[in-house]
Structure formats: C-alpha cells, structure tokens
Structure 1
Amino acid sequence: MILHTNTTWFTIPQEKVLELLNTSLQYGLTHEEAQKRIQEFGKNVVIQKKAVHPFILFLQQFNQPLVYMLLGAVVITAFLKEWSDSIVIFGVVLVNAIIGYVQESKALQAIASLAKSMVSTANVIRNGEPQLLPAEELTLGDIVVLRAGDRVPADLRLIQVRELQVDESAFTGESIPVQKQTAPLPAQTVLAERTNMAYSSTLVTYGAATGTVVAIGNQTEVGKINQLIASADILATPLTKKITKFSTTLLYVILGLSLVTFAVGILRGYAFIDMFMAVVALAVGAIPEGLPAALTITLAIGVAKLAKKNAIIRKLPAVETLGSTSVICSDKTGTLTENQMTVEKIFADEQFFEVTGVGYEPKGEITSNKKMIHLKENLALHECLLCGLLCNEAKLVTEDGVWKIEGDPTEGAMLTLAEKAELSKTQMQSLYPRIDTIPFESEYQYMATLHQQADGSKIIYLKGSVESILARCQQRLDNKGDIKNFDTQLYHQKANAMANNGLRVLAFAMKKVHQNQESINHEDVAKDLIFLGMQGMIDPPRPETYEAVATCQKAGITVKMITGDHALTALAIAQKIGIVTPSADKEAVLTGKEISQLSDKELENKVKYINVFARVAPSDKLRIVKALQANDAVISMTGDGVNDAPSLRQANIGIAMGITGTDVAKETADMILTDDNFATIKTAVEEGRGVYDNLIKFITWTLPTNLGEGFVIMAAIILGVALPILPIQILWINMTTAILLGLMLAFEPKEKKIMQRKPRKPNEPILSKQLIVKIVVVGIFLCVSSFWLYHHALQDGVNEDTARTLAVNIFVFGEMFYLFNCRSLKDSVFKVGFFSNRFLLLGVILMIFLQLAFTYLPIMNQIFHSAPISLVHWGHIIGASFLIFIIVEIEKMLEIDRKVK
C-alpha cells in the first residue's frame, strides 16, 4: 500500500485509488485494519498548536516602553508616600493589561473553532456493513457514504456519484453549489475545480455519493488551513508600532534630561537626596500618565460608535488600523454583492429584455428600451418565465419580512422573476399540475417536467444549459405564439455575450405531447423541442457598494476583489462597481492557477496593478496579502469562510462576515460586519481616521504640559531656586486635566473631507515636524509663564504655597485654552464650531470647579500645599492662558496661508 500525504488523488482513476489504499467499495476496511491505520496515521482531528500559558500572556501585556515609565511612576509616587497617586497610575496600567490580555486570548481561539468545524459522525462501510462512527475514528481507505444534508467528515476521493452537489462556499468562496463527478482531473487543476473530491467540513446540498478517505486531520485541506493560520504573522498595528517607537524615544529623552539635571545639581553643590527628589519631580512631570488611558478610552469610544453602525470590533487597536488602511481586499459573494441570484436579462423572440430589482424580493419589472413589458403582449416571454417557474424545485418564502430561497439559488432567481411578472407559483401549479419529472443529471445538463393543461392536453417544460437545450430545438416561439424557424448560431452568440458580462445563462424549451402520456424519459426530449428563450442571472452588487467603492478610491484606498468565483463573473461585478474600468478585459484578472505559477517576487509586482483575483485557493489568498504587505500596504481583508482564516489573520485588520461567516473566520478576525456589507467597511475606515485624528490631538495637547513641567524643574535646578511646582502638584495637573480635559477630545466629531485624504504611510511618525514645533513652543510658554508668575508673586510678598498655586493654575488654565486649539490641528476653532463638542465644554466646566476647590478648599490646601489667590492673580493666569490660544490660532492661519500660496 502506497500512502503519501502529497499524493494528488484527484488525478488518479477511482479504481487505482482503491487499489493504492488497499480498500474495497463493497466491504471497506476491516476493524482490525482500521485500528492499525489509526495507530499509524493518528485520529481524524485537527491538532492544535500548544497555547501560550495565560499567565505568560498576561505578563506580555506589560512589555511596552510606556508601561515601563508608568511602572516607574508607580514606584516613585509610592516612594514619596503618595499612595493615592501610586494606586491610580497602577490602576491605569492594570486596566490596559487586562484589556490587552482579553483581546489576545480571544484571537487565539481561531484554531479551536476550526477544530470544532470537523463533523462529529460519519456513515462508513466497514466489514461490509454500514455503520455510524465518530468522525475522529475515520482513517485512510475508509469508505464513506454521503447524502443530502451531511457534512463531509474528511477529504474524500469520490468513487460513485449520483447528482451530488456540495456547498463549498465557506471553503473555496464559490457562490453556488458545486456539481461533483468521478473522472480523474489534470494535475494543474485548482482546488475550487477539483470536482471529483469532497473536502472536510463542506456541506452536501443535493444527491448522494460514495467516496474513500484520502486525507485526515491536519492533512486535510481544512487542516492545512489550520497550519496556515498558525503560521500567519500577528502584525502590530500602525498605531501600536508608532506608540511603541514614540514611547521608547520619550523614555530616552526623560532619562537623558533626568541624568543631565541630576549631574548639574550635584556640580552646583546640592545634597544627593535633594537632587534625587528633584529628578523624581522631573520624571513625574515628563511622563504622560494619561496617555494609556486616553488611548484605550478613545479607541473604546470608536468601538461603541462602530457597533451602532453594524461593525463589531474585537481588538481595540483595529479601530485605528482602519484609518491607516491603504488597500481593502474584499470577498465578492455577500460582501460586494447581495448573495442572492437575480435574473437581469432575458432573450426571447430574438430580443433582449431587462429586469429591474435585485435579490429574492419580488419587486421589479420587465422592460424593453426602458418601456415596461406585459406578458400578454409577448407569449414567448410568458412561456419562458412559466417554464422557469414550473420546471423548478425551489421555494420562495418570507421570514420576518425577509425573502429567502429554499433550494438552489438559480432556481430561486427564476421564481422571483416569475413573481415580478405576477405569475404565482401556487396558482400556476394548480393550472398546470405536474405529472412526471426528469431530475437534473450532469450527463444531460437539463431538467424536464410533464404538466397537464386546463384543456386536458399535456406539455413538457425543459430547462438547462444553452448547449443542451439548443441541440434539441428546431423551432422557436414568437411573441404572438406562432412557431418559427430560427438560427441556433444567433442564440449561441447571444448566450456568449451574456456570459461574457458575467451572467449565468440558462435556456428554456417546451414540447406538446399526446394527452394520454403519463410519464417522460430522455427520449421524449431528445428532439423536436420549441425554444422559448434564455435567462441570464447574476449575484448583483449591493446598491450601496457603488458609492462605497468610489469613496474609498477618493480617499486613496485601493479596493481589490479576491474571490473563489469564475474570472468572468468576478470581472463583470468589478466593472459594474468601479473596481476596474468598464473597458477592462481578462488581463485585469489574475486566477489562482496563474498565481501558483508566479514566484513571490513576481507576485509582489503583479499585485500592484491587478485588482481582481478569481478562483483562488486559501494559500493564494495568504500569498496575495503578504505580497501587498511587501509593498508597504496596510491591508484590510474581508472573509467569511474557513478558507479565509489564514489571510484574515495575516492582514493588518481581518474583517469577518457576521451573517454568513463561519466561527473560524469570526474568531480570527479583528472586526465583524453584522450586515455583511462592504459599505460598512467604508464607514469603519472613516471612523478609524477620526479616532486617529483624536489620538493625535490628545498627544499634541498633553505633551506641552509634560514638557513645560520638565522645563520648570530643570530651570529651577540650573538657576538654584526652589521648585515652582511640587511632584504631588504635578500629578494633580497631569491626572485631572487628562481625564476632564484631554479625554473629551475623544468625543470630537470627525473633520470635514476626512475621506478625501490619502492614507497615512505606515512609516510616518506619530507627530509631524509642525506638531513637534507647536508642542515645544507651547511647552516653553507654559514653563516661562508659570516661572515668571511664581517669582513675581514671591517678589510681591506672598508665601511659597500661594506662588506655587499660581504656577499650577497657569498649567491648568493654559491647557484649558490650548484644548480649544487642539480641537482641530489645522482649522480655527471658530470654523469647527464652538458648541459641536458638548462633552468638552462639560469637562472644562468641571475642571474649573475642581481647580477652584484645589485653590480655596482648606482640605485641598493641606493635601496639595496650595493656597487661595486674589482676583489680580486670576487676571494674570487668564491673560497668559488666553495668549497661548491666540498664538496657536495665528500659527494655524499662517500655515493655511503658506499652503494656499
């Protein structure tokens, strides 16, 4: 027996397959042989990668430079016996670690979900008897019997088939069930076209078959996907990369300033302990304690907004990643399209008719040259629709106001078309009761039904492939009901034209028979049929997709379609919704077969300009995503099937479908669309850009305070004077303003024209040179103002606590006025709208009351070494703070003028 895991079983005749596996179709394996093989090859289960221990995963959340600084602040404040501050800062660190742990542990559930997708039981022949066995006990060479409704328990080479159709949409992306057969196939046949194979976890929708197990567990195609998921990189988001780099730089700057300040102090003769306390104050002042909280809360607010817009975020940083997206790789079926087959064109009586309305809801009309057509005016059209209605096994039903199909989607499209023309299936079935049926068989490519008419005569209706039907017809029906000779070549040409537009074309015919006939066979429909017409159907684009694709393209985001469907169908949809130009030809599509022949470097060059990928396998999708990322693209990848899981994990942000998506896809993804709608991705990208804007606004707002506080401490040491602000006062400033002022920027509405910007480059620094200059200028101004007011007050004879209260209030109110500047980093606050962020106004009011309490309440004076100040002092504070506001607004005006010029 030869059992190689890389054997291409689909290329081998079924008799040879049974010989190689040393099994028998009638008897299967013996129990003894089966147990022997299970011992040798293992059980039919997906083996999961050993998970990281939960405690180690939790500790990994602290491995960030900013967290190091905060933990340092915890130690420092505890050393100062400022227990409340120490607890607050540690609380921030702990909450962030818990959130990160929960997110990452959820992401690692994908492979567990994949294992669950393996079916629990299988109908197997062993020792010559049919048995129901647990699927995990299947082994190579087992004979498995499949029936409609079964999930395939392992990878099978089909030996006998009776009208078998398998839904492989969750596996290959094919939008309609695949017709199976048993003949061997060429070695280069791509996965989606291996029609003599049935793959683990796919669903049998029609017919029956017998096959032999050729792969189990991790060796199945779904098991290989499990390995691809495990091998795909978990990429850091652009935000986490930038925050890490920014935090590292900030850490080095703070350590450098602290060492320089300590050295200067020692050289000036200060005591070691005094200098240590001064450096502690400097470090506490320079650390932006509120940044992790602001980051988490801003992202969380973005998550809440998106949840209301049908997008569920599973990992917080994914919100911002959306805003960085430069390429969206979208599945076709159900995302860009309705996932509801719809008849769009009819060819009858040698003319085309258009059909309006999409989906299974029977709303729409039949038109010709934009004029509505009534069936009474065209008998050929009437009979074409009636044939599609009666020669049909599907059902059109409504559930909670939603129209659905029970049965084959193409047959469902014919029912909807007939209903649009006011042909009721129930009424027509009573007028034309069915007497006999020839079921669809792949050998013949048609289905036929025999009906009795009201006058007692009998009629056969036939539907099937264009080639099969035209070969049986010599005449056609015209619009008056007359029988005419016709040119079959013309109909072949029209059918090809419809197919080239991505339509799936079916042909319809009829034949009147003797009224005594009670049954039909293939000989009855072999010739002398009357051709009625053709119906062309497609899974149409969602109406909102057109605008969504156009909006993404205006925003500099490239939309690429990656589908398991046929190249012509994919191209037709891509042309309609604007992914490619209407004049694009087959060269605009790259197929899975072509991808397999390209090296990684060749593929990296191809993906730059190819926007449609068809008939792709799971490994192809993963290669496409990696190739795009090699070109520095930030990828948002959509998917719903098991086959999408590796590429969803590899992408910068994986987006799963909430309605049609498998558990595997949902567990792997960063975001889930509850409406399976591409337009929701556009909304999410827009929201992501708004979230990133607000984070930059917060950072731009908070850093001048930290910089100013650090400068104050350094200046005091260099000049040999007392500290204008104490460490406990610095913590008061940083924590209260971050919560009541800075966090209110998270509620800032999205700026206009946000979707007309180009995507941010992945290597772009978190702060531009212009923003750095602004931060330094404001930081220096806060430092100078507080230092000047502190010493001016001392010269006027006030005590040190009062002078320090002035210095603290300069920072608080300076931040407050600067907060309004930061509502937009480019436009004037007056252009933004003063009252458009009511949360910010509420935060300002609360901060004023809190600062008044800090200044005047005795208990606060005692805790924070503050003291009451006079109205004159308030005048100085408000004047200096307002000056900051004016300077920044003037700088914005000058920047706008420079850009205009």
Structure 2
Amino acid sequence: MDNLREKHWHHHPLSELDALLESHNQNGLDELTVKERQLLYGSNRLTPQKGKNPFVMFMLQFHQPLVYILLAASIVTFILQEYVDSGVIFAVILVNAIVGFIQEMKALRAVEALAKSMEGKSTVIRDGHKLVIPSDEIVIGDLVILQSGDRVPADLRLIRNRELQVDESALTGESVPSQKNLTPLPIDTTLADRDNMVYSSTLVTYGTASGFVVEIGDNTEIGRINTLIANTQVLATPLTIKISEFSELLLKIILGLAALTFAIGWLHGQPMLDTFMSAVALAVGAIPEGLPAAISIMLAIGVNKMAQRNAIIRKMPAVETLGSTTIICSDKTGTLTQNQMTVQHVFASYQDYSVSGTGYTPQGELLFNDEALSLNTDTNQNVISQNNVALAETLKAGLLCNDSRLFQQQSQWKIEGDPTEAALISSALKAGFNIEQQDKLLPRIDTLPFESQHQYMATLHQSSQSDSYIYIKGSVESILKRCGNALAADGGSIPLDVPRIFEEIEQMASRGLRVLAFARKLVTQDSKSVTHESINTDLTFLGLQAMMDPPREEAIQAVKACQNAGILVKMITGDHVATAASIARQIGLKEPSHDSTHNYAYSGHDLAQLNNQELMEVAQSSAVFARVTPEQKLRLVEALQAKGHIVAMTGDGVNDAPALKQANIGIAMGLGGTEVAKEAADMVLTNDNFATIEAAVEEGRSVFDNLVKFITWTLPTNAGEGLVIMTAILFGLTLPITPVQILWINMSTALLLGLMLAFEQKEPGLMNRPPRKPGAPIINFELMIRVLSVSSLMLIGAYALFAWAIAEGHSTETARTLAVNMFVFGEIFYLFNCRSLRYSMFKIGFFSNPWLLFGVVLMASLQLAFTYSPTMNTLFGSAPLSALQWLAVMAGGAVIFIVVELEKRYRAYQETQRK
C-alpha cells in the first residue's frame, strides 16, 4: 500500500483514481479495507511534538551569565547578613525566570493550535452508505463529501464538483476563494494553482463536491507545515545575544578584578579575611544588580507603548528586535493593501474611465481625462449627464447581476458575499445609482448562477415599460464569444472591435487589475426564465470593469519611512506575480539595482529552480515573491538571515507559521490571522496594517536607545566603585565606601534614576538612521571612552572628598558619607547627560521627561534621609554633613556634567567637519 504515497494526485485523470487508490468512486471503501489502512497509516491527526520537561524549561531560565553574577551577589549579600538586599536580588532573578518560562510555554502552543484545526466530523461514503464519522478516523482512499461551511478534513483529489469554492488563504495566502474543477494538471503545478485538489483545514465557502482522500495526518500539506514549525529553531533576539555577550565579558572582568584584588592584598600582607571582604566588596560594586530588572521594565514599558499603537507584543525581547530590523518581509493582502476589492477603471463605448476612492466605501467619482463626470440624478434611469448609455449600463449590469450585499454598520462598510461583487456595487453607487430604485424598476425574476465551466453569471430582469433585459457578467473570453455587437455612448449599436477590447484588457492586466466583462440581451416582456441556450449568441457587449485590492495610503507612507530608515521591504504573497508586482510598484518597493541581473518579482516556480546560494542573492536584491509555498517562505527567511539580516516576517495563515517562527520577529495579523499564526508570532497587529509595523519599528528603536542610555549611565558607577576598592587595596588605604553602602547606591539609583530613562521621548531623526549592524556591540568605542572618563571622575571625586574630610579631622563615617553622596549626585548630574547620547540636554528640553525629574527629587530626598536619619546612620554607617561639604558634592557632580557636555560638543563638531 505504500505505493499510494508520493503520487502527483493533481496530475492523474479521473479514470485512473479508482485503480490507484483501490477504492470506488460511488461506494467508497469497504470496512475491512478501512481497518487495514488505519493499522497501516494510523489516525488522521497531527503527531504531537515531544516538548521539553517544564521543570527543565524553568531551570534553563537560570542558565545565563548575568544570572550567575546576580546569584553570586545574592549569596554574598546573604553572607554579609544583608538579608533584605539578598532577597531583593533573588526576587529579581526569580521574576525574570518566571516571565521567561511563561513566554516559552506560550510559544509552544503553535503546534497545539494547528492540531485543533483538524478536529471535527466528516461525511464519507463507505460500502455505498453515507456516514458521519470523526475526522481522525478518515483513511487514504475514503470518499468524502463536502458542502458549504465544511472544513476539509484531509487532502482530497476531487472527482465530482458543483461550483465548489474553497477559502485556502490560510494555506496559500490567496486573497479570494479558489474555484475548483476536475481537470488534470501538469506535474509541476504549484500548490495554489491545483484547482482539482482541496487541502486539510481549508474551508468550503460555496458549492458541493466529493473527492478521494489522498493524504492524512502528518503527510497532508498542513501536516508538513506542522513538521516545519516543530523543526524550526527559535532564534535568540539581538538583545538577548548582546546582553549574553556583555554579561559573559562582565563576568570575566569582575572575577578577574576580584582575584587580582585578593592577590594584591595578600601580597601586601593584609589579613586574609580583610582581603577576602575587599574582593567581595569589589564584586558587589562591579555587579550591575539593577540591569536585568531595568531591561525587563524598559521592555515592558515598550510593550505598553506598542499596545497603544495597535501592536501586541507576545515576547518581550521582540520590542528591541524591531529596532534592529534590517528587512521586513510583508504579506500583501490586508497588510499592504485594503483587503477590499475596488473598481479602478471602467471601459465602455471604447473609452476608458477612472474611478476614484478605495475600499468598499461608496465614496468617489467617475473621471474621464482626469475630469469628474457630473451625475444626473433627476431621471429614473440615472444616466451619466454626458449621456454615455454604455457606461451607465456597464455599471448597472454590475449592480443587478449580483448576489452580494454592501451595507453600512457603525460607520463601517461591510459585505455579505463575494468581494468582487461588492466592488461592483460600490462602483455603481459612486455613479449615483440607487439599489432599491433599480430593484423596483427592473426586478429580478430568474438567475443563472456562476459555474466554473461556463465562467459567467446571468440574471433576467422584467421591465414594466419595455422589453425585459438579461444582464451577464463573467470572464472576457466567455462573454465576447457570445456578443454580436457593442453598445454605443448614445445607446445605439456599434460594431464589436475585439482587438481593441483585448488591447485594453492587456493594459489593465499589466497593472495587476482583475477584469470582468459585461453584456446584455433584450428579451420579450413575457420571458420568465434564462437558460444557457438563450444567451449563447446575440449578446450586446456593454463594457469592462477592472478592479484590484488597492494599497493602503498609510502603507505607502510607512514603506517609504522604512526605506528611508535603511530597512528593506519585501513582499511575499500567495497572489499572482503580475498582481503582486503591480501593487509593489504602487507602494514603492525598490527595484533591483541597475547592475543587478535579478528580476523585480519571482514566482514560487522560479524559486524552486534556485540553489541556496542563488536564492540568497535573489532574496537580497528582489522585491516580490509570489505564489510561494510554506517551505519557500521559510527558505527566503533563512536565506536573508544567512546574509546577516535581522528579519521581520508578517503573515496571517497556517502556511506562514514556519516562517513566522524562524524569523527574528514574527508578526501575525490580529483581525484576519489564524490562531496558528498568532501563536507562532512574537507580535500581533490588532489592525492588520503595515503602518503599525513602521510605528513598532520606531518604538523598538526608541526602546533600544533608552536601554543603551541606561547601560551607559549605570556602568560608570559600577566601574567607579570597583576602581575605588582596587585603589584602596593597591595602596593599602581605608575603603572610602563599604559593601553595604555600595549595595545602597546600586539598588536605589537603578530604581529611582536609571529606570526613568525608559520614559525618554523618541529622539529627532530616529527613523532617518540606518539600522544598527547586527554584530555591533551595545556600547561602542565612543561610549566606552565616556564610561571610562566618568568612572575616573567619580573615583577622583570620591577619594578627594574622603581624603579632604579625614584631613579636616572628621570621622571615617562622615568621610564615607561624602564619598557615597559623591557617587549618588555624580550619577544624578550624569543622568541628565544620558537623556541623549548625542544631543545636549538643553536641545531635547529640560522638562520633556517629568518622570526623570520626579526620580531625581525622590532620590535626593532619600539621600538626605541616608545622611541625617539616625536609623539610616546606624544601618549604613553614615553621618550628617555640613553645608560646605554638600557644596563640594554638588561641585563634583557639576564637573562630571560639564565634561560630558563638552565631549558631546566636540564629537558633534567632528561629525560636522567630516561632512
């Protein structure tokens, strides 16, 4: 029976299927064969993927260098009997681990959501009897019956068909339901074009059919996607990679300095315990305890900001990943386009008219030579005032030969029925037609529904004033061969110029427009029915209506903004190549460079011919990829990543899920997206709009900017504290600050000062910068020089004030209080420098971040308590200061602020000179 697998089922003629599947096209399988095949092939369900043990997943959250540092800090502070500090640090570790565990568990739900899509009941014929059975009991060779509303339970080759239409958007990305037929197809026919097949988990929207099951479970197209999802590795984000690298480097430096400190103290003959405690003090001082909490809180603030801009973040590091994005691979339908078919051109009496407006909203005008036509609404016929009867009749035919409904609901225009027919209604309403009035004037008395073998629909309308009319719409070929003449602008008859009509059609098709032809036939008033024979000849050609799903205006602006920001935008869609390329050019996707040999657009068939190296080049230079399979979407993402890009991928269907999971950031559609896509994604758009992605990229860049500001701000304190300890050991001096005081500085300032940088506004020109290079460090060379200079100033300031107080005869407690306040107020002054790493504080506005000012006031108040409260004096070994001593502290902080501002000005001057 294994010969049933790996067949090109779309290629075989119907006459061969019974023998190939060892089934019967009337009676189906017998029960004995069913049981044999259930044993051989198993159930029609997706195999659950084996996941990690939840406990192991949770414990792996602690397997990070920065967490090791924090665990060490927690243990050290516990040994020092600082139980509150130890508990706070451990609580930070635990919260981060819980958040990471929850996010990872959510990510694993994608396969579960996919498996649920195959549950349900199905109608089959076995032994000649119709049965309703659970879908998971279906076997290869079963004869399945489908009707409107059914979810297809397995991959089927159709053997009977009555106007079957299937929504395959979740699998193929096709924007309109696929019309099915029984015609055998070439072997190399792509998935989206296999019109004689239906696939598991797709939805029947119209008609009935029956077909043989040719694949079940994991071997269906949806099962292959399940395997792709399960085998796709979840990539580390640029932020997690950089933080991990930074943490490893920091860990090595801290351990090295602590060991060096211990060795120097031991060589100097200092007591072993004192030397050990000094090394511990250095480690505590150098560890940025507040960094993980700050990163988590800053990302959470970014999540909240993005939610306000219609982007829901499912995995927090995705906030920053957006800011690193170098390429956005976007779906077309509904993301870059309106997802609302719109008539854009009408061709009647051999003249071309434009139609303004987008979407289903019936607001717009008919234009001829760019001038709007005035409408005559005084007559019952509502004919265009320029008396172009052919134009009016073409629009009227689209309105009357129509089974859909366009209606307004809470200021939104919605449809019931086919998107194409809704577009025809909208164009007629724009021309001033009234639906109720036309239904009264020409009530419908009979209909020939659309059938795929005829490619047209016809309706008979009875008139009380004259002969009745049959209106027909359909494909150009099916209509023109039945026409004998054409309708003139004055209502008369003119010869049918077929070459002229096809010339117009080619021009429309080159712009990615879908074209429908319209005709009519006068019949006697007593005619009661319309038949195929009655409209086979002698039709009068009325005109053409050409439509497309137009691009969103805001998407055009968003694509331009992304490209100005150095982010490439690619379109990956299930639609046809010509349509996709036309939309891409309207949106403004960039053409390949002049010296490139690659095309603007490639089909899935084209991509299948390329090896991995060729695909990498094509993916880099070309803009449009149409009619692609799930595997090809995944290959495209992998190819771009292999070129060093940070890839954001959008999608809404099941077919998008593997690529969404593979991408550095997967973006699912919230309105039209499947649950599988949402579960595989890092971010969900609540409005399905590309402009939201551009806004999210901007927020992502802002979040990373603020993270860099925080790290640039916090490192000098940690480095300065470490240098103070090392200097004391090296020269055998008294420690200017104790380990407990170091903890006070680090924890209080990180919370009340550093975190306030998360509320900084976006800097000017944020979206005019190129994307950060993926391999670039968090802190570049220029910022590292700034960190070292500020660390040195803090070191000098702390020792200078400590030595001054001792020389003046003050107690060690007073001297240490001066050193602690030097660090704290040095950080406060430096905080204002860090509000922007390139611009002066005065340029971005002193009051533009009220949260930062609030944090400064609160921190200053705490330092007053640290200095003057007897309780704090006892806990931290502090002592009151005089006004002169406070003045010295402020002067030290001011020096830091002035030095950094001068350095910024110097760098700005250098940049100006380079330009």
Same fold at TM > 0.5: yes
- Name the structure 2 match of 1:389: 399
Is the CA contact 2:653–2:677 (under 8 Å) kept in the aligned structure 1?
Answer: yes
Partner SS, residue 146 of structure 1? strand
Which residue of 424, 429, 449 corresponds with 1:419? 429
- Name the structure 1 match of 2:368: 368
1:216 maps to a residue whose letter is I
Which residue of 591, 598, 605 corresponds with 1:593? 605
- Name the structure 2 match of 1:749: 761
Partner SS, residue 337 of structure 1? coil
- Name the structure 2 match of 1:782: 794
Q: Deviation string for 1:236-259 (max 9, x for gaps)?
A: 111110000000000000011011
Partner SS, residue 445 of structure 2? strand
**Separation in structure 1 between the aligned mates of residue 359 and residue 175 of structure 2, nearest angstrom:** 14
Q: Is residue 820 of structure 2 the alignment partner of residue 811 of structure 1? A: no
Is the CA contact 1:327–1:636 (under 8 Å) kept in the aligned structure 2?
Answer: yes
User: 1:31 Cα shift?
Assistant: 2.3
- Give the unaligned 5+ runs of structure 2: 376-383
Q: Deviation string for 1:631-680 (max 9, x for gaps)?
A: 00100000000000000000000000000000000000000000000000
User: 1:376 Cα shift?
Assistant: 3.8
Partner SS, residue 664 of structure 1? helix
Q: Deviation string for 1:439-466 (max 9, x for gaps)?
A: 2122221111111112152111111111
**Separation in structure 2 between the aligned mates of residue 32 and residue 594 of structure 1, nearest angstrom:** 45
User: 1:206 Cα shift?
Assistant: 1.2
2:902 maps to a residue whose letter is I
1:397 maps to a residue whose letter is F
Which residue of 480, 487, 494 corresponds with 2:504? 494
Q: Deviation string for 1:545-592 (max 9, x for gaps)?
A: 111010000000000000000001001100101014599999311100
User: 1:434 Cα shift?
Assistant: 1.4
Is the CA contact 1:323–1:689 (under 8 Å) kept in the aligned structure 2?
Answer: yes
Is the CA contact 1:575–1:582 (under 8 Å) kept in the aligned structure 2?
Answer: no
**Separation in structure 2 between the aligned mates of residue 448 and residue 587 of structure 1, nearest angstrom:** 41
Is the CA contact 2:813–2:877 (under 8 Å) kept in the aligned structure 1?
Answer: yes
- Name the structure 2 match of 1:847: 859
Q: Deviation string for 1:380-422 (max 9, x for gaps)?
A: 1110011111111111123322211111111111011112122
Q: Write out aligned runs for 1:278-357 (5 A).
A: 278-357=278-357
Q: Deviation string for 1:830-879 (max 9, x for gaps)?
A: 11111000000000000000000000000000000101011111011000
- Name the structure 1 match of 2:206: 206
- Name the structure 1 match of 2:226: 226
Q: Is residue 132 of structure 2 the alignment partner of residue 122 of structure 1? A: no
Partner SS, residue 649 of structure 2? strand
**Separation in structure 1 between the aligned mates of residue 783 and residue 829 of structure 2, nearest angstrom:** 17
**Separation in structure 2 between the aligned mates of residue 24 and residue 502 of structure 1, nearest angstrom:** 43
Q: Is residue 687 of structure 2 the alignment partner of residue 675 of structure 1? A: yes
User: 1:25 Cα shift?
Assistant: 1.7
Is the CA contact 2:344–2:546 (under 8 Å) kept in the aligned structure 1?
Answer: yes
- Name the structure 2 match of 1:552: 562
**Percent identity (aligned):** 55
Is the CA contact 1:353–1:367 (under 8 Å) kept in the aligned structure 2?
Answer: yes
- Name the structure 2 match of 1:518: 528
Is the CA contact 2:4–2:21 (under 8 Å) kept in the aligned structure 1?
Answer: no
Is the CA contact 2:591–2:600 (under 8 Å) kept in the aligned structure 1?
Answer: no
Q: Is residue 836 of structure 2 the alignment partner of residue 824 of structure 1? A: yes
Q: Deviation string for 1:616-644 (max 9, x for gaps)?
A: 11111000000000100100000000000
**Separation in structure 2 between the aligned mates of residue 5 and residue 261 of structure 1, nearest angstrom:** 70
**Separation in structure 1 between the aligned mates of residue 78 and residue 592 of structure 2, nearest angstrom:** 68
User: 1:515 Cα shift?
Assistant: 2.3
Q: 1:586 to 1:886 in 2, by over 3 A?
A: closer
- Name the structure 2 match of 1:243: 243
Is the CA contact 2:154–2:217 (under 8 Å) kept in the aligned structure 1?
Answer: yes
Which residue of 446, 449, 456 corresponds with 2:456? 446
Is the CA contact 1:14–1:157 (under 8 Å) kept in the aligned structure 2?
Answer: no
1:636 maps to a residue whose letter is A
1:490 maps to a residue whose letter is R
Partner SS, residue 553 of structure 2? coil
- Name the structure 2 match of 1:532: 542
**Separation in structure 1 between the aligned mates of residue 154 and residue 537 of structure 2, nearest angstrom:** 43
- Give the unaligned 5+ runs of structure 1: none
Is the CA contact 1:809–1:877 (under 8 Å) kept in the aligned structure 2?
Answer: yes
TM-score by length of 1: 0.99
Partner SS, residue 599 of structure 2? helix
User: 1:474 Cα shift?
Assistant: 2.0
Q: Deviation string for 1:689-742 (max 9, x for gaps)?
A: 000000000000000000000000000011111111000000000000000000
**Separation in structure 2 between the aligned mates of residue 593 and residue 388 of structure 1, nearest angstrom:** 35
**Separation in structure 2 between the aligned mates of residue 32 and residue 527 of structure 1, nearest angstrom:** 54
Is the CA contact 2:298–2:703 (under 8 Å) kept in the aligned structure 1?
Answer: yes
Is the CA contact 1:119–1:201 (under 8 Å) kept in the aligned structure 2?
Answer: no
Larger mean CA deviation between 365-374 and 779-788 belongs to 365-374
User: 1:2 Cα shift?
Assistant: 5.2
Which residue of 645, 661, 666 corresponds with 1:633? 645
Q: Write out aligned runs for 1:105-254 (5 A).
A: 105-254=105-254
Q: 1:877 to 1:586 in 2, by over 3 A?
A: closer
User: 1:488 Cα shift?
Assistant: 0.9
Larger mean CA deviation between 878-887 and 7-16 belongs to 7-16
Q: 1:79 to 1:586 in 2, by over 3 A?
A: closer
Alignment: residue pair count? 901
Larger mean CA deviation between 789-798 and 67-76 belongs to 789-798
1:126 maps to a residue whose letter is R
- Name the structure 1 match of 2:710: 698
1:443 maps to a residue whose letter is Q
- Name the structure 1 match of 2:28: 28
- Name the structure 1 match of 2:495: 485
Is the CA contact 2:591–2:622 (under 8 Å) kept in the aligned structure 1?
Answer: no
User: 1:60 Cα shift?
Assistant: 1.0
Q: 1:586 to 1:574 in 2, by over 3 A?
A: farther
1:419 maps to a residue whose letter is L
1:276 maps to a residue whose letter is F
Structural RMSD (CA): 1.3
Is the CA contact 2:284–2:743 (under 8 Å) kept in the aligned structure 1?
Answer: yes
2:567 maps to a residue whose letter is I
- Name the structure 2 match of 1:575: 585
Which residue of 633, 645, 664 corresponds with 2:676? 664
Q: Deviation string for 1:155-198 (max 9, x for gaps)?
A: 00111111111111111001111111112211111111111110
Q: Is residue 775 of structure 2 the alignment partner of residue 800 of structure 1? A: no
Partner SS, residue 284 of structure 1? helix
Is the CA contact 2:143–2:210 (under 8 Å) kept in the aligned structure 1?
Answer: yes
- Name the structure 1 match of 2:381: none
- Name the structure 1 match of 2:378: none
2:27 maps to a residue whose letter is Y
Q: Is residue 735 of structure 2 the alignment partner of residue 729 of structure 1? A: no
2:709 maps to a residue whose letter is K
Partner SS, residue 544 of structure 1? helix
**Separation in structure 2 between the aligned mates of residue 882 and residue 460 of structure 1, nearest angstrom:** 88
**Separation in structure 2 between the aligned mates of residue 455 and residue 131 of structure 1, nearest angstrom:** 54
